[in-house]
Structure 1
Amino acid sequence: MPTQTVQDQPLESSLDLQRISSWALIGMFVLMLAVAMSLAQTLLVPLVSAGVLAFMLGPWVTTLRKWGLPPSVFAAAVVLGALLIIHAAIVQGSTIAVDWVGRAPELLASFSDKLQSAFGPAFSLERLQSTFARSGGGSFDAAAVLQSTMNFLTPTIGELIVFLAALFFSLSGREELRRYLVFVFDDKETRLRTLRLLNNIERDLKSYMAVVAAINLVLALIVAVTAFAVGLPNPLLWGIVAFALEFIPYVGPIAIYVALFLVGFATFGSLSQALVAPLILLVADTLEANVVSPSVIGRRLTLNPGLVFLGLVFWTWLWGPVGAILATPLLIAGTVTISHVFPQHEINLPE
């Protein structure tokens, strides 16, 4: 008996070393993949964004095709609609930006006075301005600002073109792409599993995003009505911004709270008035997160909050703001994929 134990010890050590080596290789692969995805951000971000949106709109392609509408016509309509939305956002945003830039000195002076009256001289903007002037030289370099703007816009326009082109081809060639992904495998079982995987990803993404869009639309209406009621400028714009930012978990709502408070404080100069709009939205978000979403979305599409947070941190770190928007859809797609590739039966653990 002791001899068998001695002989078993090297075998167990060898197995442990193999497990450690396997996990080390997996860790190295994940690290290298993350580095590659970061380096290829300019190409991957528009392609992945187009792919996610194509999965969400995929069931519509099938439905409209049954009604006699070719997929290429639907794809062209989606791209045209995206262009119109982008154009409207640029025009409206530029108008408001020009107005705020023109009123910047007046707004800064008013904001400084209100900060002094509310918090004391320590929060005066003149002190902050003098601090920035000492650290940055106090000069405004228009050429540097223009150069920075062009450096930002040039890759952004290129990524936008890649996104729209990839979206068009993904929607118009959806059936051919699905057929290729299914028939790339030889055995029937794998083909069926791949087909079920694609269908489930499309279904879950469509269901989740449709419900989230409807909830965000209600929250946007609440923000717009609240902004109009309390007297904030551009209430319709506040609703549009809230609708867009609510798609980003955790970060989006916090950004809206801060923006509503700052603009409210700059407009009214009173802490109580400035807190009205953020508090109303906070109550609405709390009810949505704890009552509406669990009952409407259901148990099947409910995501673990910890995984949502980790996914948000990872994709934001990797791809910035666009990664934050893509975090939840990618988490849904990954969860569905893992459930099909590694099916597990539910196990009741002892208490």
Structure 2
Amino acid sequence: MSPEDGRTARDAQSAVRSDRHGAEGRPHPLTVPVTGIFIILLIQALIVAAGFLLPVTAALLGYFILNAPRRGLQRLGVPAPIAAALFTLTITAVVVFGVTALAVPVQAFVTDLPTLMDRAMIQLTGPGGPLEAISLAAEATEEAMDEANGGNAPMQVEVVSDSSIASSVFSVAPGLLSQIIFAVCLLFFLVASGDTFIQKAIQIADRFEDKRATLQTIRMIERGLGNYLGSITLINIGLGISIGVAMWFWGMPTAYLFGIMATALNFVPFVGAVIGAAVAGISGFVFFQDTFAGFGIFLTYYALTAFEGQFVTPALLGQRLRLNKTMVFLSVAFFAWIWSVMGMVVAVPMLIVLKVICDSIPRLNKVGMFLGDADGIVSPMAGKGRRAS
């Protein structure tokens, strides 16, 4: 073969390779619509299978959180099944004790809540109330519209229904209880299996580097969730005690209930503080029959939660779990939409898991950086992934 023929063959091979790489570099025209259809179907599946996926998600998150304590007990000679039994029995005892101790006062509070709301509206819009002018303006507008229609006001039909907030809450209770039982049982089997679940996940990876990255990612998820839940639980308990004491100083009845409510609601970012402050303010307004007292109780509750969110939580968590606040809000809203109240509880842990996974995959490092706070530190796994790539 002459040199010219060799150059011609090499040029042809280079052209074929460049055409191949060019074709591979261009996205397929169906990539965007297929991806969009997949996302829509995935969201619909999450909504339809909420009754199954919610306890499964809670059990998996609990498994990652309890892995470190389970290993500590194993080093002390406690087998994994016994450790799992201890964990699940403790969770069951806490749930049973909480339901038993709070059933009567919570039932009374939920039953009286519609009455409190009605009394608050009457006092706000009644004679001498701060919203009396608005109420009078609304009545005048209705009378003007009736006169404009020739005095023939449409017949008003009042629909009488036995449904109430209390009946709605109590109707949801059996389904919620069954989901809790299912989640606790699944959590027992996951923890009792030890590291089998993690070993299977590592075995799926082909290369040694992928196996090591998978193990490091799982360990980071365990540390992140453990640090988050432990810190947030202690912070919320302290916040509940502070709010309970503050309500006691205000002279509110059953002040401890407001502390328990604050502890539970503070697991839901943003929304929990607003709901708790509104309930406390309305209760104080009705109890004291005074607008300034109700407003003061509202500000006291919200000021304590704001101080916790702006100073206490950042000081204790530091820069380990800094998340983009906008993404936290969107995550809470999304999971509340698909999984209702319990979805708001698991929203932040799910966002932590997503950020750790994105930090450990080089192609998703930018997504992980976007999910993090502006002042946060890039995860060490993200740096390793970029150097490895």
TMscore range, shorter length: 0.7 to 0.9
Provide the C-alpha distance between the structure 2 equivalents of 1:102 and 1:194, rounded to a whole number of angstroms: 50
TM-aligned CA distance change 1:260 to 1:103, over 3 Å: closer
Provide the C-alpha distance between the structure 1 equivalents of 2:329 and 2:306, rounded to a whole number of angstroms: 17
Aligned to 2:58: 49
Task: Report 1 or 2 for greater relative contact order, CA contacts < 8 Å, sequence distance ≥ 6.
Answer: 1
Aligned to 1:300: 320
Between the two proteins, what is the percent identity of the paired residues?
A: 23
Deviations along 1:298-321, one digit per CA (max 9) or x if unpaired, are 223100111111111111111111
Provide the C-alpha distance between the structure 2 equivalents of 1:211 and 1:310, rounded to a whole number of angstroms: 22
Aligned to 1:339: 359
Shift of 1:56: 1.4
Residue 129 of structure 2 is aligned to residue 118 of structure 1: yes
1:21 paired residue among 8, 12, 30: 30
> 1:56 touches 1:205 (CA, 8 Å); kept in 2?
yes
1:270 paired residue among 286, 290, 302: 290
How much is the aligned-residue C-alpha RMSD, in angstroms?
3.1
Provide the C-alpha distance between the structure 1 equivalents of 2:286 and 2:48, rounded to a whole number of angstroms: 41
Larger radius of gyration: 2
2:87 paired residue among 45, 64, 78: 78
Aligned to 1:5: none
Residue 201 of structure 2 is aligned to residue 196 of structure 1: no
> What are structure 1's unaligned runs of at least 5 residues?
1-9, 128-133, 347-351
Provide the C-alpha distance between the structure 2 equivalents of 1:51 and 1:250, rounded to a whole number of angstroms: 25
Shift of 1:136: 4.5
Aligned to 2:159: 137
Provide the C-alpha distance between the structure 2 equivalents of 1:185 and 1:274, rounded to a whole number of angstroms: 59
Provide the C-alpha distance between the structure 2 equivalents of 1:102 and 1:324, rounded to a whole number of angstroms: 24
Matches within 5 A, 1:197-212: 197-212=217-232
Shift of 1:257: 0.7
Shift of 1:50: 1.0
Please report the TM-score for the alignment, with normalisation by the length of structure 2.
0.74
Aligned to 1:130: none
Equivalent position amino acid for 2:130 in 1: F
Shift of 1:259: 0.6
Shift of 1:154: 4.2
> 1:47 touches 1:166 (CA, 8 Å); kept in 2?
yes
TM-aligned CA distance change 1:288 to 1:19, over 3 Å: farther
Please report the TM-score for the alignment, with normalisation by the length of structure 1.
0.82
Matches within 5 A, 1:88-127: 88-100=97-109, 111=120, 114-115=123-124, 116=126, 117-119=128-130
Provide the C-alpha distance between the structure 2 equivalents of 1:91 and 1:242, rounded to a whole number of angstroms: 19
Equivalent position amino acid for 2:67 in 1: G
TM-aligned CA distance change 1:64 to 1:107, over 3 Å: same
Residue 329 of structure 2 is aligned to residue 318 of structure 1: no
User: What is the number of residues matched between the two proteins?
Assistant: 326
Shift of 1:188: 1.2
2:187 paired residue among 164, 167, 175: 167
Provide the C-alpha distance between the structure 2 equivalents of 1:105 and 1:322, rounded to a whole number of angstroms: 23
Provide the C-alpha distance between the structure 2 equivalents of 1:45 and 1:203, rounded to a whole number of angstroms: 22
TM-aligned CA distance change 1:135 to 1:184, over 3 Å: farther
Shift of 1:209: 1.7
Provide the C-alpha distance between the structure 2 equivalents of 1:305 and 1:283, rounded to a whole number of angstroms: 19
> 1:219 touches 1:281 (CA, 8 Å); kept in 2?
no
Equivalent position amino acid for 1:243 in 2: T
